[in-house]
Amino acid sequence: MRGRVYTSFAEGLPITVQFSPHMVVEGSLIWCKNEHIGVQFDEPLDVAQVLSDLARPLVEGKLNRAPRLQMECTAELIIGERALRIKLQDISQRGIKVAASFIKPNDEVLVRVEGLERKAIVRWTQGGTAGLNFIRPLGFEELAVWVIRQQSANRPAQTPSPLRDQTKTA
């Protein structure tokens, strides 16, 4: 697979490509040049089947959602005139999961986290956790660049660590 990336990688790294929450494939990075990588999968892929599965609205009886990236950071949630600190737990192109017990389904909120601001609708709450859908989804590149900046800001300077899983099929 050829993929576009938003940072540099060393050749030979093991890599995991998550096409969807139900489709995770292991492989190796065989080249990286000019913001693109080449991946050799450990097992052959049926490309037609992969594309067909990605287009299905339901997988195993559940909504076929965009992959979620585990990102723990503080954010600000603005409801009307109130600004409250929250903890972001994960993010996708379409929304976030947060630790917040003071919101309820259908609330419209503004989410602010360093380098990102989006209006969202609260879709569900359960046990101090809430799922929010962005009113305007993030573009893939916008999300990738934001995640890389967040990870770079939180990484100690002496510990270079390659970022994984930030690929987009071309």
* Domains delineated in the chain: 1-65 (no CATH), 67-155+164-170 (2.40.10.220)
> pTM, whole model, 2 decimals?
0.68
| Span of 59-68, 77-86, 88-97 with lowest mean pLDDT | 59-68
76-98 residues labelled b (16+ CB within 10 A) or e (exposed): ebeeeeeeeebebbebbbbbbbb
Query: What pLDDT, on the 0 to 100 scale, is given for residue 155?
Result: 61
Q: Give the best-scoring range by mean pLDDT among 14-28, 98-112, 147-161.
A: 98-112
Task: Give the list of residues 6+ apart from residue 43 with CB closer than 8 angstroms, or none.
Answer: 25, 26
**Side-chain half-sphere CA neighbours of 22 within 13 A:** 14
Nearest to 73 by CA among 150, 6, 164: 150
